[in-house]
Structure 1
């Protein structure tokens, strides 16, 4: 994601949103809120994190395909890429 300011901004916004949602979940638990409400908000946090992760992977793949990777970085092996994608699944 080095050099892709737009993608970095999108990811950071999603992570900030997830951070706020997670703080809300913690507050809800401390307040003794209904389990259904807590789980719903926790699912929203999880989805926001997933979207951030997929954006990072998609940006990295685009950079790889277009040759925009930094000179000091090594290309990922197939096994490394597979492991990365499975971590998000």
Structure 2
């Protein structure tokens, strides 16, 4: 079975949805830079940990958004086209990765 992450797959997202994801990721990027500054400035460890927790939660929301879109579109389309078993197996592998976090 071919690993889909090794293939180049193109998924088309509506521009608004894509812009929202990019904006969320840019905010997360800013939060990460903020943590770097906090460490450089010897901020209180608990404050840094709180910010790390916020970043983890934000990344989880982005991941769940992408997972939902993938399920509703890519997996659904694969099932309709008779390729459901492979798509479901791939989806289950993603769930397995999520559960290890």
- TM-score per shorter chain, which class? 0.7 to 0.9
- Distance verdict in 2 for CA 1:6–1:86, change over 3 Å: farther
Which residue number in structure 1 is paired with residue 68 of structure 2? 58
Distance 2:67 2:36 in 1: 29
Structure 2: where are the runs of 5+ without partners?
1-10, 78-82
In the alignment of these two chains, the number of paired residues is: 83
Which one of 12, 18, 29 corresponds to residue 22 of structure 2?
12
Query: Is 2:38 the partner of 1:22?
Result: no
Question: How far 1:63 sits from its partner (Å)?
Answer: 1.2
Bigger radius of gyration, 1 or 2?
A: 2
- Distance verdict in 2 for CA 1:7–1:85, change over 3 Å: farther
TM-score, length of structure 2 as denominator length: 0.70
- Distance verdict in 2 for CA 1:5–1:15, change over 3 Å: same
TM-score, length of structure 1 as denominator length: 0.78
Runs of 4+ aligned structure 1 residues displaced above 3 Å come to none
Question: How far 1:42 sits from its partner (Å)?
Answer: 0.6
Structure 1: where are the runs of 5+ without partners?
68-73
Higher RCO (Cα < 8 Å, 6 or more apart): 1
- Distance verdict in 2 for CA 1:86–1:17, change over 3 Å: farther
Which residue number in structure 2 is paired with residue 2 of structure 1? 12
Question: How far 1:83 sits from its partner (Å)?
Answer: 1.5
